[in-house]
Structure 1
């Protein structure tokens, strides 16, 4: 599977983008610095972007024009779940026909009905059987906690990417909403790399601002995500062209992901400062050792003061192994302090809002 990175845009109706001119679409995408474009290929069990008057398929010249500019072409498909095999078959046919670089399944309210997990498994299983090497992404709601009925785990089991629709409608807080979306999916099993989709349309008197879009893009990079998408080309170029300009002018240079809290913890440990340790903890954090349980900032500060001053003064702490599962971290460590050593450090963090909410530690100091 080739990794997907950079800026991309969803196309709904080809004829509503650059007058339906394939060369104009490709040139606009190239000028904007897009690495990929996602075009609707089907709705339910039917192919779309076909001129019904002439029965002409509009995809081939657009796919060719984009490929000539070295822009990847993905197909996207709105699914209902009433006839999952028919929906899978039309997707497979369209993907194979145009040798598309990837496929996005857009599953929303219809898949919240009872019994849709079975439909999702049949649909995704059929896709994977026929397209074992094609990257597949799920496009759905931004906050899974709001939509527990959707068979998230089944879709993501077969998917390579998660493309949540982070549409901050009626608000102007894209950073907060994107961070929450990513955090919720990080706490879900299975986790798939997130490539979020932002809004560039108007609805009910609301529209994103230019500052919104810039904040969204900057947050994507700050989170170390590999790519970003927007919806949709059709509406943006006509209704909100200033937003297109912001996206086009934004230089895509992803920042490395921020250090994990375990790395920050060991940086602070080796500075031997209890105040620095407290910055990593939730104010009501619980710290558990084999000897006792303590809670709250003052008790945790006192524990680290004793550790640094009495138990392991001027120690050098070394992380030897770490594993991550959602909001949980397990890690092992050693320490050397004069003649005192620790060879069997074993800790677990529970993370909430980026802070340590609970911390279990177990270690033996030996001379």
Structure 2
């Protein structure tokens, strides 16, 4: 089954033109760009080719910085045509972006409500570790989930840090669905991500695509990270 949508994620790029060329070459229908890049410029460029542009970020769990990010994205929604945003709450002990702490539900709700008010019809999503509350029990999942349209478990099977889970793309895909369902996500809106592209093989990437097909999920998300990606892997993304 051919993917109905194919989203290419990036952290930072050296040159926008290079990332643009790669997205076009692999047949992406959308890109997800971390919000510390120049999104206004990227939006204009990708919209010119008919691709949607989403922002993403692991926002600070400190109130002022968190709501500054919300205001920035709201401006991009209203004035530049950003098509949506994926929030990435993670656990990071001692860091200002550690969301795996009690007492943050109100801030998470304020963040998501600000974005929803700014873009009532735009796409809002939540992404994080594929084990969700089974990895980060104190993240205010329900507050993030309430306003979201799509739930994006990071069902990666290998990263720069090594094997994740059993290193099996299909297993991590299905476990991600199960754990996010048990965390409170609506199953019909769960779309597991594949990656990291710099740490995987074409064979494993094809297994990720096959797992999506087996679940009749026609949306694929590929996380490029910041590592070099083999051409065989790019070819697998292109053929997905």
**Which TM bucket (shorter chain)?**
0.7 to 0.9
Structure 1 residues 87 and 59, CA gap change in structure 2 (3 angstroms):
closer
Match of 2:230 in 1: 240
Is the CA contact (8 Å cut-off) linking 1:12 and 1:40 kept in structure 2? yes
- Within the candidate set 87, 94, 97, 1:105 is matched to 87
Match of 2:6 in 1: 7
- Within the candidate set 216, 219, 228, 1:224 is matched to 216
Note the residue ranges of structure 1 that are not aligned, 5 or more in a row: 42-47, 50-57, 251-367
SS at 1:121 equivalent: helix
Q: For each residue in 1:19-58, what CA deviation from the matched residue of structure 2 results, as whole angstroms up to 9, or x when unmatched? A: x143x433332221111111111xxxxxx22xxxxxxxx4
Q: Note if 1:27 corresponds to 2:21.
A: yes
How far apart, CA to CA, are the structure 2 residues paired with 1:74 and 1:135?
8
Q: Note if 1:68 corresponds to 2:67.
A: no
- When normalised by structure 1's length, the TM-score is 0.56
Is the CA contact (8 Å cut-off) linking 1:75 and 1:95 kept in structure 2? no
Question: Relative to total residues, which structure has the larger strand share, 1 or 2?
Answer: 1
Q: CA deviation at 1:185?
A: 2.3
Q: Note if 1:147 corresponds to 2:142.
A: no
Q: Note if 1:136 corresponds to 2:124.
A: yes
In the comparison of the two structures, how many residue pairs are matched? 222
1:155-194 to 2 correspondences below 5 Å: 155-169=144-158, 170=163, 171-191=166-186, 193-194=189-190
Match of 2:95 in 1: none
How far apart, CA to CA, are the structure 1 residues paired with 2:226 and 2:79?
24
Note the residue ranges of structure 2 that are not aligned, 5 or more in a row: 92-97
How far apart, CA to CA, are the structure 2 residues paired with 1:185 and 1:10?
21
Q: CA deviation at 1:5?
A: 4.4
Structure 1 residues 149 and 5, CA gap change in structure 2 (3 angstroms):
farther
- Within the candidate set 186, 196, 202, 1:200 is matched to 196
SS at 1:92 equivalent: helix
How far apart, CA to CA, are the structure 1 residues paired with 2:192 and 2:4?
11
Q: For each residue in 1:151-184, what CA deviation from the matched residue of structure 2 results, as whole angstroms up to 9, or x when unmatched? A: 1111111100001111223143110111111122
Is the CA contact (8 Å cut-off) linking 2:197 and 2:225 kept in structure 1? no
Q: For each residue in 1:117-164, what CA deviation from the matched residue of structure 2 results, as whole angstroms up to 9, or x when unmatched? A: 122112112222222221100011101222221111111111000011
1:49-64 to 2 correspondences below 5 Å: 49=37, 58-64=38-44
Match of 2:94 in 1: none
Is the CA contact (8 Å cut-off) linking 2:7 and 2:220 kept in structure 1? yes
Question: Relative to total residues, which structure has the larger helix share, 1 or 2?
Answer: 2
Q: CA deviation at 1:229?
A: 0.8
SS at 2:212 equivalent: helix
Q: CA deviation at 1:190?
A: 4.4
